[in-house]
Amino acid sequence: MGCYRLSSSDADAFRERGFFVVPGLFDQAEVDVLRGVALATLGLDPNRLIRHDAEGNETLLSLRNELRDDVFSATVRCERVAATVSLLLGDEVYHYHHKVMIKEPLVGGAWEWHQDYGYWYQNGCLSPDMASCMVAITRATPDNGCVEVVAGSHALGRMDHVEVDDQVCAEPERVQQVLRRMEVVPLDLSPGDGVFFHANLLHRSAKNSSSEPRLSLINCYNTRTNDPYKQHHHPGYTPMSFLSDEDVLSTGLRQLEQLKRESEL
Ligand SMILES: O=C(O)CCC(=O)C(=O)O
């Protein structure tokens, strides 16, 4: 299997635009397993959180601070993702958390404009040099509330963030000015596509107005040298070994088998 490895043009894009897209980061068999596990487990997940957007619409996420022997954790640790983030940040990386984002058909709410570091700054991380890899599990389009990013906005530095309902969003007056001057890019993705992005990249997503659910996985990383100075709800530096790229599919198939056996009991 020839898996993705960081190219110099993608590294340049990360530095200059704050993000880049890797079409087909995960192949069809892997996407089928990710979707199968998500559908089989998320309905009953006690970790499922609900967030409300400014209009009161609910958006769901299932967030984990720990790595387990499951397919989502395998995507966090696999070389094509973890080694890429390590090269982008120029340091050893560790798992900060990962989450499956769920936007239900017609009702799944928006995420307001924010930088992830707007949240993570509060957690004792001194440097914004943190990054995430988002993987589309279902198709993501403007119609179903795909993520939109402001290209190059990571270079503006951290903006002040304010609380709006139970989300935190970048200061609206400043965002308005940014949007007048910089390019907004909707991340129209096919299942399996990945996006690597910097923690100061301004992004949002609209409500899901389509009749299909929109699912994605977001793996978030911090670096060893940026170990938070205080304890908070995401982990401090914990060494993370990489897995081979093949482990994603084998772990996922094993997990699906296990879930099937459990459902037959
Ligand atoms: O999944 C989405 O629609 C947006 C998620 C997001 O912005 C985030 O988790 O920081």
- Structure confidence by residue, pLDDT tens digits, 139-173: 999 999 999 999 999 999 999 999 877 788 999 99
Residue 169 pairs in a beta bridge with 162
Q: How confident is the model at residue 178 (pLDDT cuts 50, 70, 90)?
A: very high
| Segment 233-253 mean pLDDT | 98
- The answer to which of 14-23, 52-61, 175-184 has the lowest mean pLDDT is 52-61
- Predicted pLDDT of residue 194: 98
If you measure from the C-alpha of residue 262 to the centroid of ligand 1, how many angstroms do you get, rounded to a whole number?
32
148 Cβ inside 6 Å of ligand 1: no
- Centre of ligand 1 to C-alpha 248, Å, is 23
Ligand 1 centre to CA of 187 (Å) is 12
**Tokens read off for 62:** 């299932």
pLDDT of residue 265: 72
CB 220 within 8 Å of CB 116: yes
- Specify the residue with its C-alpha closest to ligand 1, atom 3: 205
Average pLDDT over residues 34-40: 95
- Going from the Cα of 215 to the center of ligand 1, the distance in angstroms, rounded, reads 11
- Taking residues 212-233, report their average pLDDT: 97
Domain 20-237+247-255 belongs in CATH node 3.30.420.140:
no
Q: Best mutation site among 53, 64, 98, 111 for ligand 1, i.e. most ligand atoms within 8 A of its Cβ?
A: 111
Q: CA-to-CA distance for 192 and 247, rounded, in angstroms? A: 16
260 Cα–ligand 1 center, Å: 30
Q: Give residue 54's pLDDT.
A: 80
- Residues 210, 142: Cα–Cα separation, whole Å: 10
Neighbours of 237 (CB within 10 A): 16
Residue ranges per structural domain of the chain:
20-237+247-255
**What is the position in ligand 1's atom list of the atom closest to the CA of 205?**
3
Residue 89 Cβ contacting ligand 1 at under 6 Å: no
Q: Does residue 147 have its Cβ closer than 6 Å to ligand 1?
A: yes
Q: Which atom of ligand 1 lies nearest, measured to the CA of 146?
A: 3
The C-alpha atoms of residue 60 and residue 51 are separated, in whole angstroms, by 6
Residue 53 has pLDDT above 90, yes or no: no
- Could you give the residue ranges of the DSSP H alpha helices within 107-202? 116-120, 172-181
CB 197 within 8 A of CB 134: yes
Check residue 43 and give its pLDDT. Answer: 75
Contact 102, 62 (CB under 8 A): yes
